[in-house]
């Protein structure tokens, strides 16, 4: 990945800020939208940034750990939901249609065989990860393969787009994400284990116990991010790591979704720090632990609506806000164009 030179980045940022400050509005009054617009300018190296063409890829994979009852839903829901995505009936389909985004599903490791479908990318590395309670979820080769596939998806389908989004589906994947994030940031597991699909009381207690045992049994190296994916999985998370790296290497802005996407992003940015320059955070998830990790990563969520669905939904929902920021910079009149007085002092002149 080519890292943008610091002086070049600063130059674009200050040109963007100057253009924004000349728009007919009190200085800074568009708040976070101004920062978003300026970052888009830097990423696209253009004072007329665009967020029109959006690609959403839902990465799907199954988890061996699902055998241990760490989700409210049975494992076959991953397969069923992939069919739902392909038929257009899931939440992310509805939201992608609303913003006119192209939606693809990448099968990195779902249990079961799918019929061919134009929106389905068959990239299965293996059928589900191994059960991390008993052995490493993946081998190093499998992790690398899944990352490579995810990167290829970005490079192949993202080239003509303005903005890239990865979503995920995989029963049991809040477990993988919790383990990965706890290990990567050295945060106690208790603070990273949330209710996922909706666990409460005894069942949530059971999930905590299982994950603590997994954490105790597996071996990894904090400084070797791939070893975390080997230990805890999953294939869809590894695919998203590659997707983010691919997006950044294309020089494309991308939007991180919720808790699981953030785990993938954390791995990607631990491996290649420059990917951070291209990342927006779509929303703050309701899943316990997301807030803490987001703070560690120094990210600022665009939305905060108490969602905890995944699939990329929070990221896709933020697209109109990113578009608004770009449009305001492109289309608003400057003080000079509109003949509006810039301040009391000038007004008196």
Near its own copies by CB under 8 A: residue from 25, 126, 206, 212: 25
- Across-strand partners of 283? 303
Instruction: Work out how close the CB of 231 gets to its own copies at its nearest, in angstroms, rounded to a whole number.
Output: 25
- Across-strand partners of 166? 57
Alpha helices by DSSP H, listed for the chain, are 6-21, 32-44, 76-87, 91-98, 140-157, 173-185, 189-192, 201-217, 225-232, 235-249, 259-271, 290-297, 313-317, 319-331, 335-338, 344-348
Query: Out of 168, 200, 311, 346, which one is annotated catalytic?
Result: 311
Stretch that binds its own copies, among 7-15, 245-253, 268-276, 309-317 (CB under 8 A): 309-317
Residue 22: closest CA among 332, 335, 326? 335
Q: How far apart are CA 271 and CA 282, in angstroms?
A: 22
Near its own copies by CB under 8 A: residue from 89, 217, 222, 273: 89
CB-neighbour burial class of residue 100 (10 A; exposed 0-12, middle 13-18, buried 19+): exposed
- Residue 328 contacts by C-beta under 8 Å, 6 or more apart in sequence? 23, 30, 33, 37
80 in helix, strand or coil? Answer: helix
107 in helix, strand or coil? Answer: strand
Nearer to its own copies, 43 or 70 (CB): 70
* Residue 18 makes contact with its own copies by CB under 8 A: no
Q: How far apart are CA 346 and CA 349, in angstroms?
A: 5
Nearer to its own copies, 19 or 250 (CB): 19
* Residue 28 makes contact with its own copies by CB under 8 A: yes
Nearer to its own copies, 73 or 272 (CB): 73
Nearer to its own copies, 47 or 328 (CB): 328
The residue count for binding its own copies (CB under 8 A) is 64
- Residue 313 contacts by C-beta under 8 Å, 6 or more apart in sequence? 91, 92, 95, 167, 257, 307
Q: How far apart are CA 92 and CA 282, in angstroms?
A: 13
CB-based contact 70:170 (threshold 8 Å): no
Near its own copies by CB under 8 A: residue from 1, 17, 67, 73: 73
Near its own copies by CB under 8 A: residue from 3, 32, 122, 209: 32
* Residue 72 makes contact with its own copies by CB under 8 A: yes
Nearer to its own copies, 79 or 265 (CB): 79
Contact track, its own copies, 194-233, x by CB under 8 A: --xxx-----------------------------------
Q: How far apart are CA 316 and CA 98, in angstroms?
A: 9
Stretch that binds its own copies, among 65-73, 127-135, 144-152, 217-225 (CB under 8 A): 65-73
Contact track, its own copies, 288-307, x by CB under 8 A: --------------xxxxxx
CB-neighbour burial class of residue 121 (10 A; exposed 0-12, middle 13-18, buried 19+): buried
* Residue 338 makes contact with its own copies by CB under 8 A: yes
Fill in the DSSP letter of residue 132: T
Instruction: Work out how close the CB of 162 gets to its own copies at its nearest, in angstroms, rounded to a whole number.
Output: 15
Nearer to its own copies, 4 or 197 (CB): 197
Annotated catalytic residue 3? no
Residues tagged active-site: 311
Binding stretches for its own copies (CB under 8 A)? 23-33, 69, 71-74, 76-77, 80-81, 83-84, 87, 89-91, 93-95, 97-99, 196-198, 286, 302-309, 313, 317, 320-321, 323-324, 327-328, 331-333, 337-341, 343-344, 347-348
């Amino acid at each position: 990945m080519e890292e943008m030179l610091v002086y070049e980045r600063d130059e674009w940022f200050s040109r963007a800020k100057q253009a924004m400050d000349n728009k007919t509005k009190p200085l800074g009054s568009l708040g976070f939208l101004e920062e978003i617009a300026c970052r888009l300018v830097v990423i696209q190296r253009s004072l007329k940034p665009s967020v029109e063409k959006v690609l959403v890829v839902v990465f799907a994979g199954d988890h061996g750990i699902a055998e241990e009852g760490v989700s409210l839903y049975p494992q076959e829901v991953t397969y069923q939901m992939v069919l739902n995505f392909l038929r257009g009936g899931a939440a992310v389909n509805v939201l992608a249609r609303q913003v006119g985004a192209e939606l693809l599903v990448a099968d990195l490791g779902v249990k079961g065989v799918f019929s061919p479908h134009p929106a389905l990318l068959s990239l299965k590395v293996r059928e589900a990860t191994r059960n991390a309670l008993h052995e490493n979820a993946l081998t190093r080769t499998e992790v690398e393969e899944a990352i490579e596939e995810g990167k290829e998806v970005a490079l192949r389908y993202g080239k003509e787009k303005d903005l890239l989004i990865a979503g995920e589906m995989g029963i049991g994947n809040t477990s993988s994400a919790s383990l990965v994030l706890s290990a990567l940031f050295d945060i106690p597991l208790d603070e990273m284990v949330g209710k996922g699909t909706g666990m409460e009381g005894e069942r949530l207690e059971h999930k905590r116990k299982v994950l603590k045992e997994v954490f105790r049994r597996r071996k990894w190296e904090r400084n070797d991010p791939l070893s975390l994916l080997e230990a805890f999985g999953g294939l869809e998370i590894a695919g998203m790591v590659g997707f983010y790296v691919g997006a950044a290497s294309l020089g494309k802005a991308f939007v991180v979704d919720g808790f699981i996407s953030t785990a993938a992003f954390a791995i990607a940015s631990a491996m290649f720090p420059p990917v951070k320059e291209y990342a927006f955070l779509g929303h703050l998830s309701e899943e316990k632990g997301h807030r803490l990790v987001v703070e560690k990563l120094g990210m600022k969520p665009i939305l905060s609506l108490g969602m905890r669905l995944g699939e990329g939904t929070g990221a896709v929902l933020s697209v109109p806000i990113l578009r608004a920021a770009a449009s305001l910079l492109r289309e608003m009149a400057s003080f000079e164009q509109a003949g509006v007085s810039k301040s009391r002092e000038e007004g008196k002149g």
